[in-house]
Structure 1
């Protein structure tokens, strides 16, 4: 055989093998890169998490990119590209509409058996669950619920979802309890303020009554001193004054007598609900027989029939109390009953 022919055949064979070798090397490199991203790197991150470290993917949520336009119109390759970007930017579950899990789930919706999306969701699930747990712990409850729902779409049977949902329910109950406690404290503070205001008002009324009584006593004492001075200045008039005093002493003395009562107006709200009760009203009867300084002494229930009782007493008319033949002011209390007759 011709040697030149053999050499030419060998050159042709080597030329044919070279492209095949290049293709094999490219395939091996691609498989190695995929293994690093989908197996080795997640394994290293899991080991770091187990030893107390923080995995790189779930270290922080950095939703720095805007949501891509026309996501619905993207094909599988475009969605995988966006998912890779989201993984690189540590956007596993957030923000909504622009995270790795949603892109991979869209890939599976278009191509259910896509190995890249399936593997990526499986391998990154633990770190995404950590992100969701952080949302629960920070009490971003709505965001936590969204992320848990997103995890459930990727792996509905994963037991981690049960734990996350339990923690989320516990946080919701705690938040509800704290809100209820705050409302109860606010209500208690309002009731305390109302009670303090009522006590202050009652104390002011009592002080006013005491001042009126002291003023009356002072006036009476002044009159007595004037009489004593008059007797000392005119001893010759002692007998006529004594006679006048005896006449005053023999003059009639009597308590105030009710001449005209007034029926109270039954409060509309209490009448509709069939509510009954009573009010003890204190008041002063003037020398003219009218009522003044009308106030509530006691009531059951409080603040339901008070106004109606006070208005009724304000319309009362009396024959005033008499002291030594002279009409004087006096105080009185009246209990008014309210009943629907049911």
Structure 2
């Protein structure tokens, strides 16, 4: 046979096969489309109708009055429970309120009729949207309600991984709220402690001012007789210039006690403040001719060794006008009681 005839025959056979393949593919496509419209889609519509509508319909933000729960749910039969479930689905009551929601009705249907396909399909297909409702409860920090809804979801599908995510988020939100509450409590406690410290410092300053006032009042009667004696010793009328010179000489040779110029309030020990302790310290110290304090010692204290350091530190910063004897500054020893009160 001629080679050209062979090639022509093969081309003719390949051309005949192509329409057959195309026809087969077209048949499969038509079967798939027919199956979708005739079997799959009607089944989905039936399930959605039994479930009360498509669950992806957005929830209205308008406030609505929820219907009261059925009077006797336990006595309802399967058809009545499915009707209540459809109503709840229409009103998008997937998980709430408790006792009157679609999930609880469907679960009761499965208790009465474990193989009920309508209830099982509705729970499975509505699960993601109900999980979103539980997540909204978590975000609004209604933790008890969120826990109830998660438990209800677990009854419908205990192995669903979404439950793990919801539980983790609920735990994290609870910890966040606990931390915020603890931070607020710590801040309030710190403010109270600062106010107590300020009040203690003010009380110490007021006490020191009262002590200085009492000390000055006690020293005034001592100085009064000296001034009276000086006036009475002056000549009556003859030697004005001699009287003035005598007065100058008297001032140069006067004797006086040390006078406090600058006092510093004692710092309240932090430990004593926390334990609400009060007390006093009696200190003895030397006032040097330069008006500084030295040789500070604790004579007595109540309670012991609680306020000693604070009292010594305060006295170290005192400044005095030194005592004078015959007009010359001299060292003197003095005692002072420092009280610590809250």
**C-alpha distance 63-144 of structure 1, shift in aligned 2 (>3 A):** farther
SS class of match (1:139): coil
Q: Which of the residues 87, 101, 104 maps onto 1:102?
A: 104
Shift of 1:165: 0.6
SS class of match (1:232): coil
Q: Which of the residues 196, 199, 202 maps onto 1:200?
A: 202
Which residue does the alignment assign to 1:153?
Answer: 155
**C-alpha distance 93-58 of structure 1, shift in aligned 2 (>3 A):** farther
2:304 matches 1:332: no
Whether the 8 Å CA contact 2:110–2:116 is kept in 1: the answer is: yes
Which residue does the alignment assign to 2:281?
Answer: 281
Which residue does the alignment assign to 1:232?
Answer: 234
SS class of match (1:113): coil
**C-alpha distance 280-59 of structure 1, shift in aligned 2 (>3 A):** closer
Shift of 1:116: 1.0
- 1:41-190 residue pairs with structure 2 within 5 A? 42=54, 45=56, 55-56=57-58, 64-190=66-192
The one-character-per-residue Cα deviations of 1:109-162 (angstroms, maximum 9, x if unpaired) are 111111111011011101100000001111111111111111011001111111
**C-alpha distance 38-162 of structure 1, shift in aligned 2 (>3 A):** farther
Which residue does the alignment assign to 2:245?
Answer: none
**C-alpha distance 73-41 of structure 1, shift in aligned 2 (>3 A):** closer
CA distance in 1, matches of 2:63, 2:123: 17
Q: Which of the residues 2, 26, 46 maps onto 1:34?
A: 46
The one-character-per-residue Cα deviations of 1:59-105 (angstroms, maximum 9, x if unpaired) are 78956111111111111111111111111111000001110001111
CA distance in 1, matches of 2:178, 2:335: 53
Whether the 8 Å CA contact 1:79–1:107 is kept in 2: the answer is: yes
What count of residue pairs does the alignment treat as equivalent? 228
TM-score, normalised relative to structure 2: 0.56
CA distance in 2, matches of 1:146, 1:179: 23
CA distance in 2, matches of 1:80, 1:134: 26
CA distance in 1, matches of 2:158, 2:87: 25
Which residue does the alignment assign to 2:269?
Answer: none
**C-alpha distance 278-188 of structure 1, shift in aligned 2 (>3 A):** closer
**C-alpha distance 32-142 of structure 1, shift in aligned 2 (>3 A):** closer
Shift of 1:37: 3.2
Report the aligned-residue RMSD. 4.3
SS class of match (1:281): strand
Whether the 8 Å CA contact 1:58–1:131 is kept in 2: the answer is: no
Which residue does the alignment assign to 1:12?
Answer: none
**C-alpha distance 106-90 of structure 1, shift in aligned 2 (>3 A):** same
CA distance in 2, matches of 1:278, 1:80: 74
**C-alpha distance 282-90 of structure 1, shift in aligned 2 (>3 A):** same
2:216 matches 1:214: yes
SS class of match (1:207): helix
CA distance in 1, matches of 2:207, 2:164: 64
**C-alpha distance 192-210 of structure 1, shift in aligned 2 (>3 A):** same
Alignment gaps of 5+ in structure 1: 1-28, 46-54, 236-274, 285-294, 303-329, 336-342
**C-alpha distance 35-98 of structure 1, shift in aligned 2 (>3 A):** closer
CA distance in 1, matches of 2:46, 2:64: 24
SS class of match (2:196): helix
Shift of 1:56: 2.6
Whether the 8 Å CA contact 1:61–1:90 is kept in 2: the answer is: no
Which residue does the alignment assign to 1:243?
Answer: none
**C-alpha distance 129-59 of structure 1, shift in aligned 2 (>3 A):** farther
The one-character-per-residue Cα deviations of 1:231-263 (angstroms, maximum 9, x if unpaired) are 12679xxxxxxxxxxxxxxxxxxxxxxxxxxxx
